Amino acid sequence: MSVAIRIGNAAGFLGDNLDAPRLLAEQGNLDYLTLEYLAELTLSILARVREKNPAAGYAGDFLEVLKSLLPALEKQPQLKIVTNAGGMNPAACARAASAILAKAGLGDMAIGVVSGDDVLGEFPKFQAAGCKLENFDTGEPLDAAKLSLVSANAYLGAKPIVDALAAGARIVITGRVADASLTVGPAVHEFGWDWQDWNRLAAASVAGHVIECGAQATGGLYRHWEDLDLGHVGYPIAELEADGKFAITKTASSGGRVNRATVTEQLLYEIGDPQHYLTPDVDVDFTTLEVRDAGENLVQVENATGREAPASYKVSAAYRNGFTASGQLLVCGRDAVSKAEACGQMIFERLATAGYEYDDKLVEYLGAGVSAPGFKPSGDLREVMLRVSVRDARREAVERFTKELAPLITSGPPGLAGYASGRSSVRPVFAYWPTLVPKELVTASVEVKKVEEWNTQA
């Protein structure tokens, strides 16, 4: 049983820095590298990708990252990877990863796949069991017949990750699990904690929450960012001890900063009620935490407290809600704001003449204070970006909108630019339906196989 472990997270979302995982693995002296790729929107996008290609639907960035990690995996036998890169298709992700590992001569490595979070096909069963699938925000029960559902994923907890590690997996690929569970799983596996040891589970959940967004804990979005080297920002490492104490740090040669302020800012990120931070593993009370600077780029966190885990899983569902498009033009010269306002009005006057009104529309004047309510720039602005967006149930209406910005170049006021990129594209809109499902209605599954076995299925 381990006394202490080092867990570094080098991805906070799909699209994060591709070099961060390699640098953290090479310099961080890690036991575990976690890679967190999924958000609610990401799952909807990956679901649409899988619709087009049944062999896709996972975080493709992970494969590029994995190639860069091959030397570290060869040189550091203790290093394990836990990631939710599986997205909507964890098994396909494992097969693609196995091809890379097999080519590198790592065919004996074991990959664990955690699935069961994709519950889209289970909604009729849930409703038959009396689950109304009520929307968090509105309280409205879900009527699947009226909604074109795209995806529905339960936020699984750490237990299936622990099961995969216990079965010998060196790389664990999951679908949707709670972000913090990527850290809780390795901690429980290494320390042998009981699943009712709420305070220790809370500590690991807090550690996971601090590092889950990557560089947000090491100086990204920090109030005093101007004092930092963010061009070479390091990614966070959680040093966990068996008693539940932990510290946050980064590699010595990297930029950014770890101090009480950067860690506290991340602690407050997306927690809701600080006395009840609900995860599938534990109900965490953040108000008892003690956070203190313990050295240069080292912050100690203690006194995490937890309560019994919720009886339900959060489920993130998405449904089709029409189509959208956005276009923009640079407006220059005197009276730039007035000209931009006139252009926005012209666009919709012309669309109305063509017979089109829209379910939703938005006209923005970027640079004129729209992103900071209550703030208005002083003086006569000589440059503003006009951005116009629409959403509508009719694709053809949105298509027509995309054809109305370019005519302004010769039929609008002077000083317009930025039209050379062509017409904007029409995109589907996915709306969000958050709900709860009793845990007993959701079954997680774990499959652990050698790379060579996964590769034969690729």
Give the Cα separation of 358 and 429 in Å (integer). 14
Query: Residue 20 pLDDT more than 90?
Result: yes
Query: Residue 316 pLDDT more than 70?
Result: yes
Give the Cα separation of 16 and 39 in Å (integer). 13
**Long-range contacts: 138-147, Cβ < 8 Å, 24+?**
142/317, 142/433, 142/435, 147/319, 147/320, 147/433
pLDDT at 458: 57
Could you give the 3-state DSSP secondary structure of residue 434?
strand
Residue with tokens 């939710």: 84
**Identity of the residue numbered 42:** T
CA 273 vs CA 200, 216, 316: distances in Å: 20, 20, 19
Give the chain's domains with CATH numbers. 4-131+152-316+437-456 (no CATH), 318-433 (3.30.70)
pLDDT at 2: 76
Q: Rounded mean pLDDT of the chain?
A: 95
Give the Cβ contact number of residue 143 at 10 Å. Answer: 9
CA 360 vs CA 321, 393, 398: distances in Å: 12, 10, 11
pLDDT at 225: 95
**Identity of the residue numbered 174:** T
As beta bridge partners, residue 241 has: 4
What are φ and ψ of residue 64, in 5° steps? Answer: -65, -40
pLDDT at 146: 85
H helix runs in 249-300, sequence order: 260-267
pLDDT at 191: 98
Three-point CA angle 399, 400, 403, nearest 5° = 100
CB 63 within 8 A of CB 96: yes
Residue 456 pLDDT grade (very low, low, confident, very high; cuts 50, 70, 90): confident
**Total residue count of the chain as it appears in this document:** 458
As beta bridge partners, residue 114 has: 174, 446
Query: Residue 275 pLDDT more than 70?
Result: yes
pLDDT at 83: 98
Burial 264-289 (b: 16+ CB within 10 A, else e): ebbbeeebeeeeebbbbbbbbbbeeb
pLDDT at 178: 97
pLDDT at 317: 95
* 348 contacts: CB under 8 Å, gap ≥ 6: 361
Instruction: Give the residue among 354, 342, 350 at the shortest CA–CA distance from 394.
Output: 354
Give the Cα separation of 135 and 137 in Å (integer). 5
| 273-287, 332-346, 412-426: segment of lowest average pLDDT | 412-426
CA 13 vs CA 45, 46, 105: distances in Å: 13, 13, 29
Give the Cα separation of 173 and 84 in Å (integer). 6
Residue 307 pLDDT grade (very low, low, confident, very high; cuts 50, 70, 90): very high
| Dihedral, 90, 18, 31, 105 alpha carbons, nearest 10 | 70
What are φ and ψ of residue 294, in 5° steps? Answer: -120, 10
Percent of the chain scoring above 70 in pLDDT: 99
CA 149 vs CA 13, 84, 115, 133, 292: distances in Å: 23, 22, 20, 13, 46
* 319 contacts: CB under 8 Å, gap ≥ 6: 147, 148, 149, 150, 430, 431, 433
pLDDT at 377: 77
Global pTM?
A: 0.94
Please state the rounded mean pLDDT for residues 33-57: 91
pLDDT at 434: 96
Please state the rounded mean pLDDT for residues 193-221: 98
pLDDT at 457: 67
- DSSP one-letter code for 370: T
